[in-house]
Structure 1
Amino acid sequence: MNDSYYSSTILRVGDEAADLIQGGVLILFGEPLPRDLEGLSVVHRPADKPVLEMQPGDQVQLGAARLTLTAVGDLAHQNLATLGHLVIYVDPDPAAGLLPGAVHAKGQLDVPSPGAELRLARA
Structure 2
Amino acid sequence: MSTPPRLPLKSIPATPDGPQAAAQPVALTVVGGLTGVAEGVPIAVRPDPRGDDGRRPVAWLHIVAPASWSVTPSARSWCTCGHDRHAIGRAAVLQLVAAHGEHRTACPLLNPTSKGRAAA
Q: Which has the larger radius of gyration?
A: 2
Where is the strand percentage greater, Structure 1 or Structure 2? 1
TM class by shorter-chain length?
Answer: under 0.3
**TM-score of the superposition, structure 2-length normalised?**
0.17
